Amino acid sequence: MSRPRFVRVALVVVALLVGAATLGVSDTVSQQPAPRPTEAELLRRIEALGPQLEEARIAAEAAERHRELEAEARPRRATEVVHVGPMHIVTLPEQSELAAQLFGDVWRNDFDGVVGSPALAEHVFVFQWAWRRVEPLRVDAAATGSSPVQHIHLTRAWARTRGVAKARIRDAVWAVLRSDLPEGSHLGRWIGSTGYPSTQRVARLFTTSPSDDNRACLAGVTDGCVAALGLSTGEMSVPPEAAAIVLLEAVRMGGSGAWARLLEARDAAPLDALAHAAGVDADAVMAGWLAAVLAERPEMHAGLGGQAGRVLLWVLALAAFATRSTRWRLA
Amino acid sequence: MYQPMLFVHWKQVRLLLIPFVVAAFGLPLLAVQGLGADATGGVSAEVYQIVAGYQLWLPLFPMLALAIGIVLALTAWNWDHRLGHVYALSLPVARWEYALLKMGAGIALGLVPTLAFWIGAHVAAASVTLPAGLNAYPNHLALRFFLAMLMAYAFFFALGAGTVKTTVWVVTGIFAALVASEVLGDVLVLYFSGLEGLSFLELATDWLVERGGPFEVFTGNWTLIDV
Residue A309 within a domain: no
Whole-number average pLDDT of chain B = 80
Report the domain count for chain A: 2
Mean pLDDT of chain A: 80
User: A324 to chain B, minimum CA–CA distance in Å?
Assistant: 7
**Cα–Cα distance for residue pair A262/A180, rounded to 1 Å:** 10
Least confident of A18-22, A152-156, A178-182, B207-211: A18-22
Contact B100 A165 (CB under 8 A): no
Quote the pLDDT of residue A14.
61
Task: Return phi, psi of residue A115, to 5°.
Answer: -110, 140
Nearest in space to B223 (alpha carbons), one of B44, B22, B34, B56: B56
**B192 or A19, which is more confident?**
B192
Interchain contact, A209 vs B48, CB within 8 Å: yes
Would you call B43 and A160 a contact, using CB atoms and an 8 Å cutoff? no
Between residues A121 and A30, the one the model is more confident about: A121
Q: How close is the nearest chain A Cα to the Cα of B16, in Å? A: 23
Cβ atoms A208, B52 nearer than 8 A: yes
Nearest CA-CA partner of A176 in A94, A106, A229: A106
Single pTM value for the model: 0.57
Question: What's the average model confidence in pLDDT over A205-231?
Answer: 82
Residue B137 to residue A207, Cβ atoms within 8 A: no
Domain boundaries along the sequence of chain B: 2-162+216-226
pLDDT of residue B22: 94
Q: Single out the residue in A126, A149, A178 at which a domain terminates.
A: A178
**Which chain A residues touch B163 with a CB distance below 8 Å?**
326-327, 330
Distance (Å) from the alpha carbon of A192 to chain B's nearest alpha carbon: 23
**What is the pLDDT averaged over residues A180-196?**
78
Are A146 and A220 found together in one domain? no
The answer to whether the CB atoms of A322 and B197 lie below 8 A apart is no
In a mutational test of the B interface, the residue from A314, A328, A329, A330 whose CB has the highest number of chain B CBs within 10 Å is A314
A162 touches chain B (CB under 8 A): yes
pLDDT at A330 over 50: no
A323 touches chain B (CB under 8 A): yes
Q: Residue A61 pLDDT more than 90?
A: yes
Q: Does A14 touch chain B (CB under 8 A)?
A: no
Listing from the earlier edge strand, what are the strands of the sheet with A124-130? Answer: A80-84, A87-91, A124-130, A149-155
All residues of chain A having their beta carbon less than 8 Å from the beta carbon of residue B137 are 300-302
Residue A316 resides in a domain: no
**Is-contact B224 B145, C-beta < 8 A?**
no
Nearest one of A156, A167, A100 to A127, comparing CA atoms:
A100
Q: Please indicate whether, in this complex, the C-beta atoms of B155 and A322 are within 8 angstroms of each other.
A: no
In a domain, A134, yes or no: yes
Q: For chain A, give the percent of residues with pLDDT over 70.
A: 82
- Predicted pLDDT of residue A8: 62
Q: Which of A156, A178, A200 is the last residue of a domain?
A: A178
Specify if A135 maps to a domain: yes
Q: Residue A235 pLDDT > 60, yes or no?
A: yes
Chain A positions touching B151 (Cβ under 8 A) are 311, 314-315
Using the beta-carbon criterion (under 8 Å), do B150 and A315 form an inter-chain contact?
yes
Within this chain, do residues A118 and A208 fall inside the same structural domain, yes or no?
A: no
Q: Are residues A194 and A284 in the same domain?
A: yes
Give me the DSSP letters along B159-227.
HHHS-HHHHHHHHHHHHHHHHHHHHHHHHHHHH-GGGTT--HHHHHHHHHHSTT-TTGGGSS---SEE-
Predicted pLDDT at A1? 46
**Which residue in B134, B163, B190 is closest to A208 by CB distance?**
B134
* DSSP 3-state of A161: coil
Of A210, A301, A326, nearest to B137 by CB-CB distance is A301
- Residue A278 and residue A191 in one domain: yes
Average pLDDT over residues A299-303: 54
> Does A218 contact chain B (CB < 8 Å)?
yes
Q: What is the pLDDT of residue B63?
A: 92
pLDDT greater than 70 at residue A302: no
**Is A266 within the bounds of a domain?**
yes
A73 part of a folded domain: no
> Considering only CB atoms, which chain B residues are within 8 Å of A214?
133
Of B143, B220, B211, B151, nearest in space to A304 by CA: B143
How confident is the model over A191-219, as a mean pLDDT? Answer: 80
Query: How large is the average pLDDT for residues A42-56?
Result: 91
The strand pairing partners of B136, in sequence order, are B225
Question: Are both A207 and A174 inside the same structural domain?
Answer: no
| Cα–Cα distance, B86 to A195 (Å, whole number) | 66
User: Tens-digit pLDDT profile for chain B (227 aa)?
Assistant: 788 888 888 888 888 889 999 999 998 888 887 666 554 555 555 555 555 555 667 788 899 999 999 999 988 888 787 777 777 777 777 888 888 888 999 999 999 999 999 999 999 888 887 766 677 888 888 999 999 999 999 998 988 887 777 778 888 888 888 788 777 776 776 676 666 666 677 777 777 777 677 888 887 778 787 76
Tell which of A131, A152, A178 closes a domain: A178
Q: Which amino acid is at B66?
A: L
Please indicate whether, in this complex, the C-beta atoms of A300 and B221 are within 8 angstroms of each other: yes
Nearest Cα of chain B lies from the Cα of A323 at a distance, in angstroms, of 4
pLDDT digits (tens, 9 = 90+) for A85-144: 889 999 988 888 889 999 999 998 888 778 888 888 889 999 988 766 666 677 776 666
Range of the domain at A280: 186-295
B140/A94 CB distance under 8 A: no
pLDDT of residue B184: 77
Please check whether residues A231 and A171 belong to one and the same domain: no
Chain A residue with Cα closest to B165: A327
Q: Which amino acid makes up residue A113? A: G
Residues of chain B with C-beta less than 8 angstroms from the C-beta of A304 = 140, 143
**Rounded distance between C-alpha atoms, residue B72 and residue B104, angstroms:** 11
Of B45, B158, B226, the CB nearest to A322: B158
Residue B127 pLDDT: 85
Q: What are phi and psi of A266, to 5 degrees?
A: -70, -20
CB contact under 8 A, A318 and B131: no
Residue A310 near chain B (CB below 8 Å): yes
Q: What is the pLDDT of residue B161?
A: 82
Amino acid of residue A174 = W
Residue A212 sits in the same domain as residue A167: no
Residue B145, SS3? helix
